[in-house]
């Protein structure tokens, strides 16, 4: 999952990013409201951590602009203020939750998990499709007792594929979700990782295949 941190205190933004990365989230961090809005409007993120007091454009205005553009990404507002009126204003502006600084790391992570949890979703460390299982904790791909370890990028690509079964995922989407929409990475990097994943699917004897839509992208197909 990918998180956007919008926080003008660089040290705090860096600390939040490090905490989230250690817990296997992908993270982009920006330091003012205008950049926060620009990044958030790409609709690439699963959750946004948004400070209220920001330069150039305050967090509430960013939030209102997002909701006006029908961006429904869950937003966790961060603020040093604890006044009830600030909480009411934030929630009325479209925030999904509210966290007052300073806060404990455990509480932050719990709130992020709650916001990124799909309605009715059972919390699990595994994603499954066909005869394969992708384990979030061990970065392993398994099939009927056989398993292989995946690199970080292999895992991230497979997570996107397995979370969107039978859906065509463009090369641009992989790059935006994994490397960031400003990345200059080339398409052949994606092709290399797809090749690695195909070999690993073969090694574990899976009937799942990664199909290519030539010139466009990839999708998973189950042979069982």
Q: Give yes or no: residues 7 and 106 share one domain.
A: yes
Residue-wise pLDDT for 94-107, tens only, equals 888 888 888 888 88
Q: Where does a domain end: 116, 144, 165?
A: 116
Q: From CA 219, how far away is CA 224, in angstroms rounded?
A: 16
Domain with 67 in it: what CATH number? 3.40.50.2300
Residue 121 counted as domain residue: no
Residue-wise pLDDT for 135-191, tens only, equals 887 889 999 889 999 998 899 899 989 988 788 999 888 888 888 766 677 778 889
Give the pLDDT of residue 149: 93
Q: Give yes or no: residues 104 and 134 share one domain.
A: no
Give the pLDDT of residue 82: 63
Q: Give yes or no: residues 50 and 98 share one domain.
A: yes
Residue 73 counted as domain residue: yes
Residue 201 counted as domain residue: yes
Burial string for 164-189 (b: 16+ CB within 10 Å, else e) reads eeeeebebebbbbbbbbeeeeeeeeb
Q: Give yes or no: residues 37 and 103 share one domain.
A: yes
Q: Give yes or no: residues 93 and 55 share one domain.
A: yes
Pairing of strands 126-129, 146-149: unpaired
Confidence (pTM): 0.60
């Amino acid at each position: 999952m990918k998180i956007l941190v919008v926080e003008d205190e660089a040290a705090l933004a860096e600390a939040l990013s490090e905490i989230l990365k250690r817990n296997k989230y992908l993270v982009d961090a920006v330091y003012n409201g205008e950049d926060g809005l620009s990044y958030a409007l790409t609709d690439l993120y699963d959750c946004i951590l948004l400070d209220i007091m920001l330069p150039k454009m305050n967090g509430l205005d960013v939030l209102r602009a997002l909701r006006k553009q029908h961006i429904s990404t869950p937003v966790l507002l961060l603020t040093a203020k604890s006044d009830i009126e600030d909480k009411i204003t934030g929630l009325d502006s479209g925030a999904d939750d509210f966290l007052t600084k300073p806060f404990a790391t455990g509480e932050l992570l719990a709130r992020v998990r709650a916001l990124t949890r799909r309605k009715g979703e059972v919390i699990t460390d595994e994603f499954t499709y066909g005869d394969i299982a992708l384990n979030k904790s061990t970065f392993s791909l398994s099939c009927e007792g056989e398993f292989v370890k995946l690199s970080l990028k292999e895992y991230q690509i497979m997570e996107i594929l397995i979370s969107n079964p039978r859906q065509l995922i463009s090369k641009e989407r992989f790059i935006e979700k994994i490397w960031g929409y400003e990345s200059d990475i080339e398409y052949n990097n994606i092709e290399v990782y797809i090749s690695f994943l195909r070999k690993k699917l073969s090694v574990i004897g899976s009937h799942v295949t990664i199909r290519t839509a030539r010139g466009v992208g990839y999708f998973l197909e189950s042979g069982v």
